[in-house]
Amino acid sequence: MRGPLGLGVAAALVLSGLFTGTAHAENLVTNPGFESGLSGWTCSPASGAQAVSSPVHAGSRALAATPTSSDHARCEQTISVRPSTTYTLSAWVRGNYVFLGATGDQVNAQTWASPGSAWTRLTTSFTTGPSTGSVTVYLHGWYGQGTYHADDVELDGGHPAPSPSPSQSPSPGESPSPSPSVPPSPSPSPSASPSPGTPPAGEITFAPYIDITMPTPSLTDAYQATGVKHYTLAFVLGDSTGCNPSWGGTIPIDDPRIINDVRALQARGGQVIVATGGALGPYLEHVCATPAALLAAYKKALDTVGTNHLDVDIEASIDAHKVNTALKQLQDERGTTISYTLRVQGQDYGVDPFSVQILQDAAAKGLEVLVNPMLMNFGHTGNWGEAMVSAAEATLGQMREIWPGKSEAQLKRMLGLTPMIGRNDTGPITTQADARTLLSYAQANHVGRIAFWSVGRDNGGCPDGTLSPTCSGIAQSPYEFTRIFAAYTG
């Protein structure tokens, strides 16, 4: 979600791997210190990547790259490796949210840090599979988080992998969660898709996002003002220890202010959806290295909050196989309602190509998801309300290809709609009239859910067009958009 989210500075995370040797092989990285500019490296066009003379960690140059609101400034190179071999990857970095990792056949390793102006060494390890011949080593920052620097990248390998054991101990920060003290709220088992206009019992059809890291508005304040009982809580991220769920990456998942607010809403018959991911911060989907670790993190978040509804908001690359494996097991064990909130590429295209791949993998695994395109911040022509409808229709067309065996009614029930009210980050403005246009589309097609970003912005505190996390930027009455969309009942 492109809404601003305040994050504290996270401590560096070091993921330990299987490397046990003491000898060091030669560095396999080409131009590791960027002394030859970007030779050997490929960087995203929008990154503005260059070799700079200051600041540097060693030598005379280092990499500087700048993420934008839609590009995390990735620089990468592909390196030949030997199968069944353990490698250690490291780099010196500085800046806000710098990521280092490697991907390839049976390889997915990543670590990150938020060191600010201090040079910090990131290290991670991986073991290649029996058929792995190359890996892609990469560095990137995080959307809109300023320039990052990297230097002295090293891939040290040549150590035969240890014999596999029946189980692998989790890395630091990835210990299985303790048994939950709060049981999840009951949820109906998955059943056949409902007829149009008849949502199944317990289904949430309207749940606006609320940045729960901010103290106001509270869930109960919003409920008392509007009568709306369901909300999507944004966002659960990994904390400074790694694969441990927290609000915004900094607030404990069991923070009393938040949990007491949720309990008060639930006591009034309300319920919440836990949203992971978002526009900023260390995704659980990144820092949890295995499906089992990610599953444990999801369970801990849901059990602490007391819900069985999960929204996975993806605005960066993820290991779709790992994430969908964890989600499928979660759904099989608990019947969890799962939605994927995804970026829209254009009004006539639908969600972006990587999002399509995530959904294709989910479908192949038999994972049941609600597809929730972010109807915000995409290029368009003509009326904005109609452009949002066009983007929803284009997404529906993509879903027809991914799930060819579903009926039209079933597919529409799998579709969510999430605009950004008022001024969007990249210029479009969602007015009350646009909201009603989208509502009419939802009512006519009986979509699965409506949401919006965000309840904290649903007021007229900045009618001058300001882009703010605490007001919509347009003239409106308090909770006006909440009341408009609350008319939707499925």
| Span 353-369, pLDDT tens digits | 999 999 999 999 999 99
206 SS3 class:
strand
CA distance linking residue 38 with residue 468, whole number of Å: 37
- pLDDT attached to residue 281: 85
Same domain, residue pair 153 and 224? no
- pLDDT attached to residue 203: 84
Q: What is the CATH number of the domain that holds 57?
A: 2.60.120.260
Same domain, residue pair 148 and 249? no
CA distance linking residue 406 with residue 411, whole number of Å: 6
pLDDT tens digits for 292-317?
Answer: 999 999 999 999 999 999 999 999 99
Same domain, residue pair 459 and 350? yes
| CA angle (292 as vertex; 233, 364 as ends), nearest 5 | 85
Q: What SS3 string covers 67-124?
A: CCCCCCCCEEEEEECCCCEEEEEEEEEEECCEEEEEEECCEEEEEEECCEEEEEEEEE
Is the pLDDT confidence value at 384 over 80? yes
Same domain, residue pair 230 and 97? no
127 in a structural domain: yes
- pLDDT attached to residue 69: 64
- Number of Cβ within 10 Å of residue 460's Cβ equals 15
- pLDDT attached to residue 71: 73
Residue that terminates a domain, selected from 159, 183, 200: 159
- pLDDT attached to residue 64: 97
Q: What SS3 string covers the chain?
A: CCCCCCCCCCCCCCCCCCCCCCCCCCECCCCCCCCCCCCCCEECHHHCCEEECCCCCCCCCEEEECCCCCCCCCEEEEEECCCCEEEEEEEEEEECCEEEEEEECCEEEEEEECCEEEEEEEEEEEECCCCCCEEEEEEECCCCCCCEEEEEEEEEEEEECCCCCCCCCCCCCCCCCCCCCCCCCCCCCCCCCCCCCCCCCCCCCECCEEECCCCCCCHHHHHHHHCCCEEEEEEEEEECCEEEEEECCCEECCCHHHHHHHHHHHHCCCEEEEEEECCCCCCHHHHCCCHHHHHHHHHHHHHHHCCCEEEEEECCCCCHHHHHHHHHHHHHHHCCEEEEEEEEEECCCEECHHHHHHHHHHHHCCCCCEEEEEECCCCCCCCHHHHHHHHHHHHHHHHHHHCCCCCHHHHHHCEEEEEECEECCCCCEECHHHHHHHHHHHHHHCCCEECCECHHHCCCCCCCCCCCCCCCCCCCCCCHHHHHHCCCCC
26 in a structural domain: no
Contacts of 178 (CB under 8 A, 6+ apart): none
In 3D, which of 478, 487, 416 has the Cα closest to residue 451?
Answer: 416
Joined together, the tokens standing for residue 463 give 């009618």
Same domain, residue pair 94 and 224? no
Is the pLDDT confidence value at 162 over 60? no
CA distance linking residue 387 with residue 298, whole number of Å: 34
322 in a structural domain: yes
In this prediction, residue 188 has a pLDDT band, given cuts at 50, 70 and 90, of: very low
In this prediction, residue 106 has a pLDDT band, given cuts at 50, 70 and 90, of: confident
- pLDDT attached to residue 21: 32
429 SS3 class:
strand
Is the pLDDT confidence value at 13 over 70? no
- pLDDT attached to residue 142: 74
Cβ(478)–Cβ(429) under 8 Å? no
- pLDDT attached to residue 80: 93
166 in a structural domain: no
Q: What value does the mean pLDDT take over residues 88-105?
A: 89
Same domain, residue pair 144 and 222? no
Same domain, residue pair 402 and 279? yes
Domain containing 153 equals 42-159
Q: What is the CATH number of the domain that holds 369?
A: 3.20.20.80
- pLDDT attached to residue 328: 97
178 in a structural domain: no
In this prediction, residue 25 has a pLDDT band, given cuts at 50, 70 and 90, of: low
Same domain, residue pair 382 and 318? yes
In this prediction, residue 187 has a pLDDT band, given cuts at 50, 70 and 90, of: very low
Same domain, residue pair 155 and 213? no
The length of the chain, given as a count of residues: 490
Joined together, the tokens standing for residue 379 give 């290029």
Same domain, residue pair 150 and 289? no
In 3D, which of 120, 451, 111 has the Cα closest to residue 288?
Answer: 111
In 3D, which of 313, 251, 232, 242 has the Cα closest to residue 284?
Answer: 242
What are the E-state strand segments in 347-444? 350-351, 370-375, 416-419, 422-423, 429-430
390 in a structural domain: yes
Residue that terminates a domain, selected from 159, 188, 217: 159
Same domain, residue pair 217 and 319? yes
269 in a structural domain: yes
Number of domains in the chain: 2
In 3D, which of 302, 313, 328, 329 has the Cα closest to residue 376?
Answer: 313
pLDDT tens digits for 427-483?
Answer: 899 999 999 999 999 999 999 999 999 999 999 999 999 999 999 999 999 999 999
Residue that terminates a domain, selected from 118, 139, 159: 159
Least confident of 107-111, 114-118, 385-389, 483-487: 107-111
Residues 22-38 as b/e (b if ≥16 CB within 10 A, e otherwise) read eeeeeebbebbbbeeeb
Residue with tokens 């071999």: 85
- pLDDT attached to residue 182: 29
Compute CA 438 distance to the chain's CA centroid, rounded to the nearest angstrom. Answer: 24
Same domain, residue pair 401 and 252? yes
Sign for the CA dihedral angle at 44, 47, 48, 52 comes to negative
- pLDDT attached to residue 108: 73
% of the chain with per-residue pLDDT over 70: 85
12 in a structural domain: no
Bin 187: left if φ > 0, else alpha if -120 < ψ < 50, else beta. beta
Is the pLDDT confidence value at 263 over 80? yes
Cβ(99)–Cβ(141) under 8 Å? yes
- 353-364 and 320-334 are packed helices; what angle lies between their axes, rounded to 10 degrees? 40
